[in-house]
Each structure stands twice: as C-alpha cells, then as structure tokens.
C-alpha cells in the first residue's frame, strides 16, 4: 500500500518537476516591459519572425531593463535592436557596433541601421563603426549582446580577431556586474573553432572557455533556440536548416569586484 501511494505521489509530482525544468531553461517569466516592447506597433514587420527567433525569451534571459545601456555587436537587420530600444526606453541607450571589416560585407544593413537611428521613435539608438579588434564603448554598459556573430571574429574577413582580445574588450566595456550574452550556431562537440569559416558555427564549449578566461563568470544558458534536429554538420545557410539552426544562448557576468 505504501509503495502504491509513493508511486502516485511521484506521478503527481512529475508534471511540476517538468514545468520547473522548462521554466529554468528561459530564466523566468516574460515581464510586462518585455512583452510591451515585443508588441510595439513600430516593429510590425518583425512579428513574422518572432515565433522562431523568440525575442521575448531572449530579452528575458538577457535581463534587459528600462534605463539600461546596451552595446549590440553586429546587429544585422536590427531585429533585436528594435526590442532593446523599446525596453530601455528614453532613459536608456542602445549602441549598435559595426566592425569596419564586417560593414564592407553588409553595406545595406549598415545603411538601414543608420536610417533607423535617425527615426524619432528610435532616438535612443546610436550607430558606431570601429575596427574589429578595437571594440570600445562610449560609456560603461549594462549588457553587451551579439547574435550569430561571435563565430565571425576569428575569421579571415574580420582580420582573425583573437577571441581573447574580443572578450577582454567586452569585459572592459561592461559595468561591474554587467552581462555578456552570446547567441550562436552550434558546431559539433569538440570541434572548437574549426567550423567558423566553413559552416559558420562554433562549439559552445570553446566559447565558454574563452569568456571565462577573460574573467567572466558563467551565469547560465537558455534552450529557447535549441533545435535537436540540426545535424551540426551543414552550413547554416543550407536551405534545409537556414533560419532553424540549433543555437546556444550563453550569459556571462562581469564580477562586481
């Protein structure tokens, strides 16, 4: 009888445990501030991508708050930039950084970001251009964020920036307690940086090792963009996986002291 009761209790507890685990994957519930930013009518064109890019979950995991200063590296088409802008508000600021080397490959995106920053609705966005190996911030920031571009820095077209240099510069740009959030395409375990130029992927383990070597403390990960059906062995632009790659999201914190 006791065994039967125990089995029943365990069965009842399982959904709760599973729910707790699922919650931990994304580091908390989506706040009203984040949801309002995602629902901003000004980003109506981005709504079609929300289901796969999970802006609300990514912002929640990155712990973005009103009044913060954010440094976004290689912002692409500005998908996350627009959400950052809405969250930090008029008391905060978003600095978008285009390395000179990358800007040559993405002139249309740089032009689009310049136009975005000129709009009154996005008056809290600035566009910065600087050499890839000389990252700097106008002021200490609360968050440095990059999505799908950490793997680019050591590549030839970027001047083969040493990850140790990049991570040290990010560390210096942050306020004590600030966050370094990296989203990128997963490469096979143990591959290190072998696939950064060929498949445009990177082994999450090497990213963690490099960030910690710069003085960061690993502060968690999110599975919001993971895809177990990605084989990790094909280029991220392959039509069979493009837009749905397996992506890790790591959060690192600069120690307060």
* DSSP element (H, E) containing 250: strand 247-253
User: What's the pLDDT tens digit per position in 229-255?
Assistant: 999 999 999 999 999 999 999 999 999
Q: pTM value?
A: 0.89
Could you give the 3-state DSSP secondary structure of residue 31?
A: coil
Using 50, 70 and 90 to split pLDDT, how confident is the model at 156? very high
Measured CA to CA, the distance from residue 28 to residue 122 in angstroms comes to: 28
The count of other CB atoms within 10 Å of the CB of residue 44 is: 9
Quick: pLDDT tens for 49-100.
999 999 999 999 999 999 999 999 999 999 999 999 999 999 999 999 999 9
Return the pLDDT at 16. 36
Closest CA to 102 of 150, 164, 37, 44: 150
The rounded percent of the chain whose pLDDT value lies above 70 is 89
Distance CA 228, CA 221 (A): 16
**Across 118-165, where does the E strand assignment appear?**
125-130, 141-147
For 95, phi and psi rounded to 5 degrees? -100, 115
pLDDT of residue 8: 36
Torsion of CA 109, 64, 57, 219, to 10 degrees: 110
Query: Which two structure tokens, joined as six digits, stand for 250?
Result: 């790591």
**Residue range 3-25, pLDDT digits in tens:** 443 333 334 443 333 333 333 44
Confidence of residue 28 (pLDDT cuts 50, 70, 90): low
* Long-range contacts at 185-190 (CB < 8 A, ≥ 24 apart): 185/148, 185/151, 185/236, 185/245, 185/246, 185/247, 186/226, 186/230, 186/232, 186/245, 186/246, 186/247, 186/248, 187/232, 188/232, 188/233
Q: What pLDDT does residue 40 have?
A: 96
Q: Is the pLDDT of residue 138 over 70?
A: yes
User: Could you confirm whether domain 29-253 is CATH 3.40.50.150?
Assistant: yes
Average the pLDDT over each of 8-17, 161-170, 204-213 and give the range with the smallest value: 8-17
């Amino acid at each position: 009888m006791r065994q039967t009761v125990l089995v029943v209790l365990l069965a009842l507890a399982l959904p709760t445990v599973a729910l707790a685990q699922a919650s931990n994957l994304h580091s908390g519930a989506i706040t009203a501030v984040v949801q309002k930013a995602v629902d901003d009518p000004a980003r109506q064109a981005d709504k079609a991508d929300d289901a796969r890019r999970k802006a609300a979950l990514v912002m929640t995991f990155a712990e973005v708050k009103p009044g913060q200063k954010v440094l976004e590296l290689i912002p692409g088409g500005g998908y996350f930039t627009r959400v950052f802008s809405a969250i930090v508000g008029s008391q905060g600021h978003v600095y978008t950084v285009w390395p000179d080397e990358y800007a040559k490959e993405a002139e249309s995106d740089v032009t689009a970001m310049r136009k975005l920053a000129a709009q009154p609705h996005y008056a809290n966005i600035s566009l910065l251009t600087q050499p890839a190996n000389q990252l700097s911030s106008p002021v200490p920031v609360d968050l440095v964020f990059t999505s799908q571009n950490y793997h680019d820095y050591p590549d030839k077209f970027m001047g083969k920036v040493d990850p140790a240099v990049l991570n040290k510069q990010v560390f210096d740009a942050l306020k004590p307690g600030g966050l370094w959030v990296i989203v990128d395409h997963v490469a096979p375990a143990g591959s290190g940086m072998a696939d950064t130029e060929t498949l445009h992927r990177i082994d999450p383990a090497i990213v963690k090792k490099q960030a910690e070597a710069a003085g960061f403390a690993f502060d968690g990960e999110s599975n919001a963009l993971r895809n177990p059906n990605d084989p990790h062995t094909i280029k991220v632009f392959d039509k069979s996986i493009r837009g749905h790659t397996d992506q890790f999201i790591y959060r690192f914190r600069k120690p307060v002291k």
